[in-house]
């Protein structure tokens, strides 16, 4: 059956990720047309429900929905009835009562998108008695980042960027569906607070890459049991042998205790400085999910160098989110783990 929601990148499995990436190829082509819009989701309503600040993810999702001809409802917690004391559940059910087909949810607490999905499935409303005659709303929930848990569409666009950029730049066209087979990918920085790292560890290893985490011990999660990763604290050695160096932002807003002696010491030990970038192999890619703190985790000249695909990541985000929205709302395709 079609997955109703995208809460974790593991909801898709290898074949599901492959389907998203292939569909994203066709949406990249749509994006190049004089009128970059198709009528595929005409009549569907997508609500972007963000309880936490975001620029690129929110705009990227909304652009994706509009390019599929869906209607877009925008909710911001700061200007909502949450300030009047309405509960999160009532807010969601109010939106659902207006007829929403997909909720794109971001929240600072892990698990909120899953909780929203649960409320919708047991709710009444216009979508009640949906497919299969079961009670509850038929709306889908897409996780746009929940706490330090997951950010599945970021991982999907990162996989898409790595595979398609390597193909475009160096002519590597890998065997599908495990398109990252044999690649060595380093994820560097604030792993502990990063939902991007969690989703990417799952996605990269599902697609066949071997993942190395590089971070000071204070910025690693308390336990890595069950994570398919290696851990290193030697940035120079890892940079020299990696096909992809994926830098994370230091999430100072989530750091409620002293994790680092100083930012300058972090940059010297784990930042991708200009000197360290000379160790990169000729076909290595440098990535960052944004927002970039130039001079902290990455030097400005490295972020703007030819190895950097940071702006390509953003550009691919729209096509990949179109693919996810179309897969969940329009295609009726059978994907999933």
Partner 1 sequence: MGQRERTLVSPVGGVFRGRAVVMDAEDVRRATWRIAHEILEHNRGAGHLVLVGLQTGGVWIASALAEVVRAVSGTDVPVGALDVAFYRDDIGLRPVLPVAATEIPVDLGGAVVVLCDDVLFTGRTVRAALNALSDLGRPAVVQLAVMVDRGHRELPIRPDYVGKNLPTRRLEMVDVSPEGVVLGDMVSPGDMVSPGDMVAPGGLVASADRAGLEGEAP
Binding site for partner 1 (CB under 8 A): 19, 23, 25-26, 29-30, 33-35, 37-41, 68, 326, 330-334
Shorter beta-carbon distance to partner 1: residue 23 or 211: 23
Shorter beta-carbon distance to partner 1: residue 43 or 85: 43
Could you give the CA distance from residue 220 to residue 216 in angstroms, rounded to a whole number? 7
Q: Are 49 and 103 in contact (CB under 8 A)?
A: yes
* Bridge partner residues of 184 (DSSP): 210
Least distance to partner 1, CB of residue 87, Å: 32
Least distance to partner 1, CB of residue 259, Å: 45
DSSP string, 214-264: E--GGGS-S--TT--EEEE--HHHHHHH-SEEEE----GGG--S---S-HH
**Which structure tokens are listed for 243?**
């096909």
* DSSP summary character for residue 137: -
Name the phi and psi angles at 103, rounded to 5. -105, 125
Closest CA to 179 of 192, 161, 195: 161
Shorter beta-carbon distance to partner 1: residue 23 or 120: 23
Shorter beta-carbon distance to partner 1: residue 130 or 281: 130
Least distance to partner 1, CB of residue 326, Å: 8
Query: For the packed helices 13-31 and 152-170, what is the interaxial angle rounded to 10 degrees?
Result: 70
Shorter beta-carbon distance to partner 1: residue 38 or 279: 38
Least distance to partner 1, CB of residue 99, Å: 15
Could you give the CA distance from residue 164 to residue 172 in angstroms, rounded to a whole number? 9
**Which structure tokens are listed for 255?**
């750091």
Least distance to partner 1, CB of residue 75, Å: 25
Shorter beta-carbon distance to partner 1: residue 163 or 212: 163
Distance of CA 93 to the CA centre of its chain: 25
């Amino acid at each position: 059956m079609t997955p109703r929601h995208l809460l974790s990148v593991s909801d898709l499995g290898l074949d599901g990720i492959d389907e998203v990436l292939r569909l994203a190829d066709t949406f990249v082509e749509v994006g190049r047309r004089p009128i970059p819009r198709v009528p595929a989701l005409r009549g569907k309503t997508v609500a972007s429900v963000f309880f936490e600040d975001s620029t690129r993810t929110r705009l990227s999702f909304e652009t994706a929905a509009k390019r599929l001809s869906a209607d877009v409802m925008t909710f911001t917690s700061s200007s909502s009835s949450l300030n009047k004391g309405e509960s999160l559940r009532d807010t969601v059910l109010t939106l659902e009562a207006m007829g929403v087909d997909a909720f794109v949810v971001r929240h600072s607490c892990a698990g909120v998108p899953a909780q929203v999905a649960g409320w919708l499935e047991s709710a009444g409303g216009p979508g009640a008695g949906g497919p299969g005659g079961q009670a509850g709303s038929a709306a889908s929930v897409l996780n746009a980042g929940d706490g330090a848990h997951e950010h599945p569409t970021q991982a999907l666009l990162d996989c898409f960027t790595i595979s398609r950029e390597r193909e475009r730049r160096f002519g590597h066209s890998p065997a599908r569906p495990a398109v990252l087979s044999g690649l060595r990918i380093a994820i560097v920085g604030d792993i502990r607070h990063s939902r991007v790292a969690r989703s990417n560890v799952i996605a990269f290893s599902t697609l066949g890459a071997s993942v190395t985490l590089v971070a000071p011990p204070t910025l690693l999660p308390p336990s890595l049991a069950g994570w398919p990763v290696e851990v290193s604290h030697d940035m120079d050695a890892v940079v020299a042998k990696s096909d992809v160096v994926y830098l994370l932002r230091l999430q100072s807003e989530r750091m409620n205790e002293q994790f680092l002696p100083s930012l300058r010491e972090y940059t010297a030990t784990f930042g991708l400085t200009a000197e360290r970038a000379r160790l990169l192999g000729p076909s290595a890619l440098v990535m960052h999910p944004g927002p970039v703190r130039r001079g902290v985790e990455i030097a400005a000249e490295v972020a703007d160098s030819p190895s950097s695909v940071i702006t390509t990541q953003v550009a691919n985000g729209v096509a990949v989110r179109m693919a996810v929205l179309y897969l969940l709302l329009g295609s009726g395709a059978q994907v999933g783990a």
